[in-house]
Amino acid sequence: MQQPDQRMIDDIVTMGGAQEPADVVEVLRRIIDEEGSLPAERLLADRLNVKRHQLRKVLQILRQRGELQPTRSGRRLPSPATNRSDRLVQSTNPMEVMEMRMMIEPVLARLAALRASPAEISRILQQAKSHPGMSPSQADQLFHRAIAAGSRNSLAGELHILLYQVQNDSRLRFADSDDETTADRIKARDSEHQMIADAIAARDPNRAERAMWEHLAVVQRKMASRFGVVV
């Protein structure tokens, strides 16, 4: 397995074991991208030469942003976020979720063009293309989550995560399954993602916002056709 760039690790480890959480996040994202998952917490702390309590704080950042699955152990009670998304699933429908995405995500793309760091832009560009071994839905969500993170608006990012939690609930039947997503659609979607990513990388907020809206409009029209709804 390819190890993360040692210079990046050196940059986050300083006297006394202190480091900037944002930098550690980027190291963990690189490991996920290159290896598909993170090793056990103890092994990861040893590998990065950081203290476990510091690592846990950074892992929590990724979980809050929806980039890692929540931890599961024993008979844990549902979190408030889980209860909230469950209530929303019971009272919404796929078209309503899509309308909210079209209200929020173009603005996130605009903010990312203005605020994203070079590392965040690099991640957005990397996630624009579907990678082998990823399901179509996983590749799509990683791209949109990268943009939400790059927007640097924590409240909007939390709303985006909640929307995806609702969207992914099987009871909602939001979209076609991965098995029904054709190779042509994946290719077209990657092209749409690339236009958004290129606009963000060019620091062009108007073009990024418009490209995201047009991308989501394609999804909305596809859904409307599937459900026999006029939009």
Query: Is residue 167 a contact partner of residue 160, using CB atoms and an 8 Å limit?
Result: no
Q: Which residue has the tokens 């900037």?
A: 20
Contacts of 94 (CB under 8 A, 6+ apart): 167, 172, 173, 174, 175, 223, 227
Q: Rounded to an integer, what is the distance from CA 128 to the centroid of its chain?
A: 11
pLDDT for position 47 = 81
Determine phi and psi for 174, rounding to 5 degrees: -65, -45
Please give the average per-residue pLDDT across 65-86, as a whole number: 57
Q: What is the DSSP letter of 175?
A: S
Residue type, 117: S
Q: Encoding tokens for residue 111?
A: 């903010």
> 10 Å Cβ neighbour count for 15?
5
Q: At residue 12, does pLDDT exceed 80?
A: no
Write down the pTM of the prediction: 0.66
Dist CA 26 CA 46 (whole Å): 17
| Three-state SS letters, 33-81 | HHHCCCCCHHHHHHHHCCCHHHHHHHHHHHHHCCCCCCCCCCCCCCCHH
The string of pLDDT tens digits covering residues 172-226 is 666 655 666 788 989 999 999 999 999 999 999 999 999 999 999 998 998 888 7
Dist CA 210 CA 106 (whole Å): 7
Dist CA 117 CA 127 (whole Å): 15
Q: At residue 13, does pLDDT exceed 60?
A: no
Please give the average per-residue pLDDT across 42-47, as a whole number: 82
Q: At residue 155, does pLDDT exceed 80?
A: yes
Identify the CA nearest to 195 among candidates 109, 111, 117: 109
pLDDT for position 190 = 96
